Amino acid sequence: MQTLHVDLGERGYPIYIGAGLLARGDLVAAHIIGRQVAIVTNETVAPLYLAALERSLAGHSITTVVLPDGESYKTWETLQLVFDGLLGARHDRSTTVIALGGGVIGDMAGFAASCYQRGVNFIQVPTTLLSQVDSSVGGKTGINHPLGKNMVGAFYQPQAVLIDTNTLATLPARELSAGLAEVIKYGLICDEPFLTWLEAHMSALRALDKEALTTAIAHSCAAKARVVAADERESGVRATLNLGHTFGHAIETHQGYGVWLHGEAVAAGTVMALDMSERLGWITRAERERGVRLFIAAGLPVVPPENMTPEDFIEHMAVDKKVLDGKLRLVLLRGLGEATVAGDFPREILNATLSADYAAQLAQLKN
Protein backbone atom coordinates (compact mmCIF):
# COMPACT_ATOMS: atom_id res chain seq x y z
CA MET A 1 0.00 0.00 0.00
CA GLN A 2 1.12 3.56 -0.71
CA THR A 3 0.00 6.47 1.44
CA LEU A 4 0.03 10.03 0.13
CA HIS A 5 -1.03 13.10 2.07
CA VAL A 6 -3.04 16.13 1.06
CA ASP A 7 -1.32 18.89 2.95
CA LEU A 8 -4.07 21.20 4.11
CA GLY A 9 -3.16 21.73 7.76
CA GLU A 10 -5.97 20.63 10.06
CA ARG A 11 -8.07 19.70 7.02
CA GLY A 12 -5.28 17.53 5.60
CA TYR A 13 -5.90 13.83 5.00
CA PRO A 14 -4.33 10.61 3.74
CA ILE A 15 -4.89 8.92 0.37
CA TYR A 16 -4.41 5.16 0.71
CA ILE A 17 -3.69 3.34 -2.58
CA GLY A 18 -3.42 -0.43 -2.93
CA ALA A 19 -4.98 -3.72 -3.99
CA GLY A 20 -7.65 -5.17 -1.68
CA LEU A 21 -8.00 -2.12 0.58
CA LEU A 22 -11.78 -2.53 0.83
CA ALA A 23 -11.03 -5.34 3.26
CA ARG A 24 -8.85 -3.06 5.42
CA GLY A 25 -11.47 -2.10 8.01
CA ASP A 26 -8.70 -0.69 10.18
CA LEU A 27 -7.93 2.02 7.61
CA VAL A 28 -11.54 3.17 7.35
CA ALA A 29 -12.28 2.83 11.06
CA ALA A 30 -9.41 5.15 11.93
CA HIS A 31 -11.34 7.98 10.28
CA ILE A 32 -14.79 7.30 11.72
CA ILE A 33 -15.67 9.29 14.83
CA GLY A 34 -18.96 7.83 16.08
CA ARG A 35 -20.82 4.51 15.65
CA GLN A 36 -23.06 5.67 12.81
CA VAL A 37 -22.03 5.28 9.20
CA ALA A 38 -24.00 6.02 6.02
CA ILE A 39 -22.70 4.41 2.84
CA VAL A 40 -23.85 6.23 -0.29
CA THR A 41 -23.49 4.15 -3.44
CA ASN A 42 -25.46 3.29 -6.56
CA GLU A 43 -27.34 0.35 -8.03
CA THR A 44 -24.34 -0.72 -10.19
CA VAL A 45 -21.62 -0.54 -7.54
CA ALA A 46 -23.68 -1.90 -4.63
CA PRO A 47 -23.89 -5.50 -5.89
CA LEU A 48 -20.14 -5.46 -6.61
CA TYR A 49 -18.54 -3.87 -3.54
CA LEU A 50 -21.07 -2.94 -0.85
CA ALA A 51 -20.84 -6.26 1.02
CA ALA A 52 -17.04 -6.05 1.23
CA LEU A 53 -17.18 -2.53 2.64
CA GLU A 54 -19.93 -3.47 5.10
CA ARG A 55 -17.82 -6.40 6.34
CA SER A 56 -14.96 -4.00 6.98
CA LEU A 57 -17.26 -1.79 9.02
CA ALA A 58 -18.53 -4.55 11.31
CA GLY A 59 -19.45 -3.12 14.70
CA HIS A 60 -20.80 0.12 13.26
CA SER A 61 -24.44 1.02 12.77
CA ILE A 62 -24.70 1.19 8.98
CA THR A 63 -27.34 2.84 6.80
CA THR A 64 -27.03 2.24 3.07
CA VAL A 65 -28.37 4.67 0.48
CA VAL A 66 -28.42 3.17 -3.01
CA LEU A 67 -28.96 5.83 -5.67
CA PRO A 68 -29.88 5.40 -9.33
CA ASP A 69 -26.78 5.25 -11.55
CA GLY A 70 -25.73 7.98 -13.95
CA GLU A 71 -24.61 11.55 -14.53
CA SER A 72 -28.24 12.46 -15.29
CA TYR A 73 -29.04 11.71 -11.60
CA LYS A 74 -26.48 14.17 -10.23
CA THR A 75 -29.38 16.42 -9.20
CA TRP A 76 -31.21 18.02 -6.26
CA GLU A 77 -33.86 15.31 -6.46
CA THR A 78 -31.31 12.50 -6.03
CA LEU A 79 -29.46 14.43 -3.31
CA GLN A 80 -32.71 14.51 -1.38
CA LEU A 81 -32.66 10.69 -1.25
CA VAL A 82 -29.39 10.89 0.72
CA PHE A 83 -30.96 13.25 3.27
CA ASP A 84 -34.05 10.99 3.40
CA GLY A 85 -31.78 8.05 4.29
CA LEU A 86 -29.79 10.00 6.90
CA LEU A 87 -32.79 11.53 8.62
CA GLY A 88 -34.92 8.39 8.29
CA ALA A 89 -32.28 6.43 10.26
CA ARG A 90 -31.77 9.32 12.74
CA HIS A 91 -28.15 10.01 11.90
CA ASP A 92 -26.71 12.67 14.19
CA ARG A 93 -23.77 15.04 13.80
CA SER A 94 -21.26 12.32 14.70
CA THR A 95 -22.16 10.26 11.63
CA THR A 96 -19.71 9.47 8.83
CA VAL A 97 -20.83 9.55 5.20
CA ILE A 98 -18.87 7.15 2.97
CA ALA A 99 -19.02 7.57 -0.82
CA LEU A 100 -18.63 4.19 -2.53
CA GLY A 101 -18.60 4.65 -6.31
CA GLY A 102 -17.39 6.87 -9.12
CA GLY A 103 -17.23 10.64 -9.36
CA VAL A 104 -20.99 11.10 -9.50
CA ILE A 105 -21.45 9.35 -6.15
CA GLY A 106 -18.38 11.06 -4.66
CA ASP A 107 -19.54 14.53 -5.69
CA MET A 108 -23.09 13.97 -4.42
CA ALA A 109 -22.21 12.19 -1.17
CA GLY A 110 -19.60 14.85 -0.43
CA PHE A 111 -22.09 17.65 -1.04
CA ALA A 112 -24.62 15.88 1.19
CA ALA A 113 -21.95 15.50 3.92
CA SER A 114 -21.09 19.20 3.61
CA CYS A 115 -24.65 20.30 4.38
CA TYR A 116 -26.17 17.51 6.50
CA GLN A 117 -26.56 19.15 9.93
CA ARG A 118 -24.10 21.79 8.60
CA GLY A 119 -21.33 19.29 7.94
CA VAL A 120 -20.45 15.75 8.99
CA ASN A 121 -17.48 13.41 8.65
CA PHE A 122 -16.85 12.15 5.09
CA ILE A 123 -14.73 9.41 3.50
CA GLN A 124 -14.18 8.78 -0.22
CA VAL A 125 -13.94 5.21 -1.52
CA PRO A 126 -13.63 5.82 -5.29
CA THR A 127 -14.20 2.86 -7.62
CA THR A 128 -13.63 4.30 -11.12
CA LEU A 129 -10.26 5.30 -12.54
CA LEU A 130 -11.52 8.86 -12.99
CA SER A 131 -12.57 9.16 -9.36
CA GLN A 132 -9.35 7.49 -8.15
CA VAL A 133 -7.10 9.92 -10.03
CA ASP A 134 -9.12 13.09 -9.70
CA SER A 135 -12.57 13.62 -8.21
CA SER A 136 -12.08 11.91 -4.82
CA VAL A 137 -9.14 14.19 -3.99
CA GLY A 138 -9.40 17.91 -3.37
CA GLY A 139 -12.82 18.46 -1.85
CA LYS A 140 -14.88 19.68 -4.79
CA THR A 141 -18.42 18.40 -4.30
CA GLY A 142 -21.69 19.24 -5.98
CA ILE A 143 -24.46 18.58 -8.46
CA ASN A 144 -25.38 19.66 -11.97
CA HIS A 145 -28.00 22.23 -12.96
CA PRO A 146 -29.82 21.92 -16.30
CA LEU A 147 -28.08 25.16 -17.34
CA GLY A 148 -24.58 24.20 -16.24
CA LYS A 149 -22.36 21.37 -15.07
CA ASN A 150 -21.31 21.26 -11.37
CA MET A 151 -22.87 24.68 -10.83
CA VAL A 152 -24.15 24.01 -7.31
CA GLY A 153 -21.78 22.66 -4.67
CA ALA A 154 -19.25 23.20 -1.92
CA PHE A 155 -15.57 22.79 -1.17
CA TYR A 156 -15.60 20.06 1.47
CA GLN A 157 -12.55 17.91 2.14
CA PRO A 158 -12.91 14.23 3.10
CA GLN A 159 -11.22 12.77 6.18
CA ALA A 160 -9.57 10.09 4.02
CA VAL A 161 -9.53 8.62 0.51
CA LEU A 162 -9.32 4.84 0.23
CA ILE A 163 -8.41 3.61 -3.27
CA ASP A 164 -8.76 -0.14 -3.78
CA THR A 165 -7.22 -0.70 -7.21
CA ASN A 166 -8.89 -4.14 -7.43
CA THR A 167 -12.21 -2.41 -8.09
CA LEU A 168 -10.98 -1.44 -11.56
CA ALA A 169 -11.25 -5.08 -12.65
CA THR A 170 -15.02 -4.67 -13.16
CA LEU A 171 -14.90 -1.24 -14.79
CA PRO A 172 -16.16 -1.14 -18.40
CA ALA A 173 -13.41 -0.31 -20.94
CA ARG A 174 -15.19 2.91 -21.97
CA GLU A 175 -15.12 4.13 -18.35
CA LEU A 176 -11.44 3.20 -18.02
CA SER A 177 -10.66 5.32 -21.08
CA ALA A 178 -12.66 8.20 -19.60
CA GLY A 179 -10.44 8.06 -16.51
CA LEU A 180 -7.33 8.11 -18.66
CA ALA A 181 -8.38 11.54 -19.98
CA GLU A 182 -7.78 13.03 -16.52
CA VAL A 183 -4.50 11.09 -16.16
CA ILE A 184 -3.22 12.55 -19.46
CA LYS A 185 -4.33 15.96 -18.20
CA TYR A 186 -1.71 15.94 -15.42
CA GLY A 187 1.07 15.35 -17.95
CA LEU A 188 -0.17 18.13 -20.20
CA ILE A 189 -0.58 20.74 -17.46
CA CYS A 190 2.46 20.19 -15.28
CA ASP A 191 4.55 17.11 -16.03
CA GLU A 192 5.92 16.57 -19.55
CA PRO A 193 8.04 13.52 -18.56
CA PHE A 194 4.81 11.83 -17.41
CA LEU A 195 3.56 12.12 -21.02
CA THR A 196 6.57 10.06 -22.13
CA TRP A 197 5.75 7.46 -19.46
CA LEU A 198 2.12 7.39 -20.60
CA GLU A 199 3.13 6.92 -24.24
CA ALA A 200 5.15 3.88 -23.20
CA HIS A 201 2.51 2.41 -20.87
CA MET A 202 -0.85 3.21 -22.49
CA SER A 203 -1.37 -0.36 -23.73
CA ALA A 204 -0.54 -1.75 -20.28
CA LEU A 205 -2.96 0.67 -18.65
CA ARG A 206 -5.77 -0.31 -21.00
CA ALA A 207 -5.00 -3.97 -20.36
CA LEU A 208 -5.44 -3.30 -16.60
CA ASP A 209 -1.81 -4.04 -15.77
CA LYS A 210 -1.80 -3.57 -11.99
CA GLU A 211 1.65 -2.10 -11.67
CA ALA A 212 1.06 0.44 -14.43
CA LEU A 213 -2.34 1.42 -13.02
CA THR A 214 -1.00 1.86 -9.51
CA THR A 215 1.85 4.03 -10.81
CA ALA A 216 -0.56 6.17 -12.84
CA ILE A 217 -2.98 6.55 -9.91
CA ALA A 218 -0.28 7.42 -7.38
CA HIS A 219 1.39 9.85 -9.78
CA SER A 220 -1.94 11.56 -10.56
CA CYS A 221 -3.00 11.78 -6.91
CA ALA A 222 0.38 13.23 -5.96
CA ALA A 223 0.04 15.89 -8.68
CA LYS A 224 -3.50 16.72 -7.61
CA ALA A 225 -2.55 16.83 -3.92
CA ARG A 226 0.27 19.31 -4.70
CA VAL A 227 -2.03 21.62 -6.64
CA VAL A 228 -4.83 21.45 -4.06
CA ALA A 229 -2.41 22.10 -1.19
CA ALA A 230 -1.18 25.21 -3.03
CA ASP A 231 -4.64 26.55 -3.92
CA GLU A 232 -7.51 24.76 -2.19
CA ARG A 233 -10.32 27.10 -3.28
CA GLU A 234 -9.17 27.75 -6.83
CA SER A 235 -8.02 31.32 -6.71
CA GLY A 236 -5.01 30.52 -8.89
CA VAL A 237 -3.13 27.40 -9.97
CA ARG A 238 -5.99 24.96 -9.24
CA ALA A 239 -7.85 26.31 -12.26
CA THR A 240 -5.22 24.64 -14.46
CA LEU A 241 -6.74 21.27 -13.44
CA ASN A 242 -9.61 22.34 -15.67
CA LEU A 243 -7.65 22.06 -18.92
CA GLY A 244 -10.19 21.19 -21.61
CA HIS A 245 -13.05 21.39 -19.10
CA THR A 246 -14.63 24.65 -20.31
CA PHE A 247 -15.06 23.19 -23.80
CA GLY A 248 -15.82 19.77 -22.25
CA HIS A 249 -18.51 20.98 -19.86
CA ALA A 250 -20.17 22.74 -22.81
CA ILE A 251 -20.23 19.39 -24.63
CA GLU A 252 -21.69 17.55 -21.62
CA THR A 253 -24.39 20.14 -21.02
CA HIS A 254 -25.33 20.48 -24.68
CA GLN A 255 -25.45 16.75 -25.39
CA GLY A 256 -27.41 15.99 -22.19
CA TYR A 257 -25.71 14.77 -19.02
CA GLY A 258 -24.41 11.22 -19.43
CA VAL A 259 -24.51 11.08 -23.25
CA TRP A 260 -20.82 11.91 -23.49
CA LEU A 261 -18.91 10.65 -20.44
CA HIS A 262 -17.12 13.38 -18.49
CA GLY A 263 -13.69 12.03 -19.50
CA GLU A 264 -14.72 11.82 -23.15
CA ALA A 265 -15.88 15.44 -23.13
CA VAL A 266 -12.64 16.46 -21.39
CA ALA A 267 -10.62 14.65 -24.09
CA ALA A 268 -12.38 16.39 -27.00
CA GLY A 269 -12.32 19.66 -25.02
CA THR A 270 -8.58 19.34 -24.45
CA VAL A 271 -8.05 18.77 -28.17
CA MET A 272 -9.78 22.15 -28.64
CA ALA A 273 -7.53 23.74 -25.99
CA LEU A 274 -4.49 22.30 -27.78
CA ASP A 275 -5.78 23.71 -31.07
CA MET A 276 -6.21 27.16 -29.54
CA SER A 277 -2.78 27.04 -27.87
CA GLU A 278 -1.25 26.28 -31.28
CA ARG A 279 -3.18 29.10 -32.96
CA LEU A 280 -1.82 31.49 -30.31
CA GLY A 281 1.69 30.31 -31.18
CA TRP A 282 2.22 28.91 -27.68
CA ILE A 283 2.74 25.27 -28.73
CA THR A 284 3.90 23.73 -31.99
CA ARG A 285 1.86 21.59 -34.33
CA ALA A 286 4.01 18.61 -33.29
CA GLU A 287 3.18 19.25 -29.62
CA ARG A 288 -0.55 19.51 -30.36
CA GLU A 289 -0.40 16.27 -32.32
CA ARG A 290 1.50 14.54 -29.53
CA GLY A 291 -1.34 15.36 -27.15
CA VAL A 292 -4.01 14.26 -29.63
CA ARG A 293 -2.22 10.96 -30.28
CA LEU A 294 -2.24 10.17 -26.55
CA PHE A 295 -6.01 10.64 -26.35
CA ILE A 296 -6.42 8.39 -29.39
CA ALA A 297 -4.17 5.77 -27.78
CA ALA A 298 -6.35 5.94 -24.68
CA GLY A 299 -9.45 5.19 -26.79
CA LEU A 300 -10.93 8.66 -26.40
CA PRO A 301 -12.78 10.95 -28.85
CA VAL A 302 -10.71 13.75 -30.36
CA VAL A 303 -13.44 15.33 -32.47
CA PRO A 304 -16.17 17.40 -30.75
CA PRO A 305 -19.81 16.44 -31.41
CA GLU A 306 -20.89 17.13 -35.00
CA ASN A 307 -24.14 18.68 -33.85
CA MET A 308 -22.48 21.54 -31.92
CA THR A 309 -22.06 24.92 -33.55
CA PRO A 310 -19.63 27.63 -32.35
CA GLU A 311 -22.70 29.47 -31.02
CA ASP A 312 -23.65 26.42 -28.94
CA PHE A 313 -20.19 26.39 -27.41
CA ILE A 314 -20.26 30.13 -26.67
CA GLU A 315 -23.67 29.85 -25.01
CA HIS A 316 -22.63 27.03 -22.66
CA MET A 317 -19.11 28.31 -22.02
CA ALA A 318 -20.58 31.57 -20.69
CA VAL A 319 -21.79 29.60 -17.63
CA ASP A 320 -18.29 28.31 -16.77
CA LYS A 321 -17.06 28.83 -13.20
CA LYS A 322 -13.88 30.49 -14.50
CA VAL A 323 -15.96 33.33 -15.97
CA LEU A 324 -15.18 36.44 -13.90
CA ASP A 325 -17.09 39.71 -14.33
CA GLY A 326 -18.59 38.29 -17.50
CA LYS A 327 -15.15 37.58 -18.99
CA LEU A 328 -14.34 34.09 -20.26
CA ARG A 329 -11.04 32.61 -19.09
CA LEU A 330 -9.59 29.42 -20.54
CA VAL A 331 -6.89 27.02 -19.47
CA LEU A 332 -4.39 26.80 -22.32
CA LEU A 333 -0.84 25.51 -22.77
CA ARG A 334 2.31 27.58 -23.15
CA GLY A 335 4.17 24.34 -23.75
CA LEU A 336 3.57 20.67 -22.96
CA GLY A 337 3.62 20.46 -19.17
CA GLU A 338 2.98 24.19 -18.74
CA ALA A 339 -0.63 25.29 -18.33
CA THR A 340 -1.81 28.86 -17.95
CA VAL A 341 -5.16 30.55 -17.35
CA ALA A 342 -5.74 33.03 -20.17
CA GLY A 343 -8.35 35.76 -20.45
CA ASP A 344 -6.68 38.12 -22.90
CA PHE A 345 -6.85 36.17 -26.13
CA PRO A 346 -8.08 37.60 -29.44
CA ARG A 347 -11.72 36.64 -29.90
CA GLU A 348 -11.05 35.59 -33.51
CA ILE A 349 -8.62 32.92 -32.28
CA LEU A 350 -11.33 31.43 -30.06
CA ASN A 351 -13.78 31.61 -32.96
CA ALA A 352 -11.27 29.81 -35.20
CA THR A 353 -10.91 27.04 -32.59
CA LEU A 354 -14.67 26.72 -32.25
CA SER A 355 -15.16 26.40 -35.99
CA ALA A 356 -12.05 24.30 -36.76
CA ASP A 357 -12.47 21.05 -38.73
CA TYR A 358 -11.30 18.48 -36.19
CA ALA A 359 -12.20 15.53 -38.41
CA ALA A 360 -9.82 16.95 -41.06
CA GLN A 361 -7.12 17.42 -38.40
CA LEU A 362 -7.57 13.78 -37.43
CA ALA A 363 -7.28 12.64 -41.05
CA GLN A 364 -4.05 14.66 -41.44
CA LEU A 365 -2.70 13.10 -38.26
CA LYS A 366 -3.23 9.62 -39.61
CA ASN A 367 -1.38 10.35 -42.85
- Active-site residue list: 118, 140, 182, 224, 234, 238, 242, 245, 249, 262
Query: Does 138 sit near ligand GLY (CB under 6 A)?
Result: yes
Residue 97 near residue 117 (C-beta atoms within 8 A): no
Read off the amino acid at residue 109: A
Can you tell me whether residue 13 is helix, strand or coil?
strand
Is 262 known to sit in a ligand binding site?
yes
What is the edge-to-edge ordering of all strands in the sheet holding 2-6? Answer: 2-6, 13-18, 160-164, 121-126, 96-101, 36-42, 61-67
Residue 191 interacting with ligand NAD (CB under 6 A): no
Site string for ligand NAD, 24-43 (x = CB under 6 A): ------------------x-
242 binds, among ligand NAD, ligand GLY, none (CB under 5 to 8 A by kind): ligand GLY
Residue 114 near ligand NAD by CB under 6 A: no
Considering only residues 31, 60, 74, 219, which one is a binding residue for ligand NAD as defined by CB under 6 A? 74
**Considering CB distances under 5 to 8 angstroms, the limit depending on partner class, which of ligand NAD, ligand GLY, none binds residue 131?**
ligand NAD
Q: What is the C-alpha to C-alpha distance for residues 303 and 176, in angstroms, rounded to an integer? A: 19
101 scored as a contact of ligand NAD (CB under 6 A): yes
Taking the CB of residue 328, how many other CB atoms lie within 10 A of it? 17
Side chain identity, residue 219: H
Was 70 annotated as part of a binding site? yes
Considering only 17, 104, 112, 239, the residue that binds ligand NAD (CB under 6 A) is 104
**With respect to ligand GLY, which residue has the nearer C-beta, 69 or 107?**
107
Helix axes 310-317, 347-354, angle to 10 degrees: 120
Asked if residues 148 and 297 have their Cβ atoms less than 8 Å apart, the reply is no
Say if residues 36 and 95 touch (Cβ distance below 8 Å).
yes
The region of 72-80, 133-141, 161-169, 342-350 touching ligand GLY under the rule CB under 6 A is: 133-141
User: What are the CA-CA distances from residue 358 to residues 293, 309, 354, 363, 364 (Å)?
Assistant: 13, 13, 10, 9, 10
- 316 scored as a contact of ligand NAD (CB under 6 A): no
User: Would you say 73 is a known binding-site residue?
Assistant: yes
CB of 245 to ligand GLY, least distance (A): 7
Site for ligand GLY contains 242 (CB under 6 A) = yes
Q: Which of 105, 213, 241, 300 binds ligand GLY (CB under 6 A)?
A: 241
Number of residues in contact with ligand GLY under rule CB under 6 A: 6
Comparing C-alpha atoms, which of 142, 170, 169, 174 is closest to residue 156?
142
Residues that bind ligand GLY (CB under 6 A): 134, 138, 140, 238, 241-242
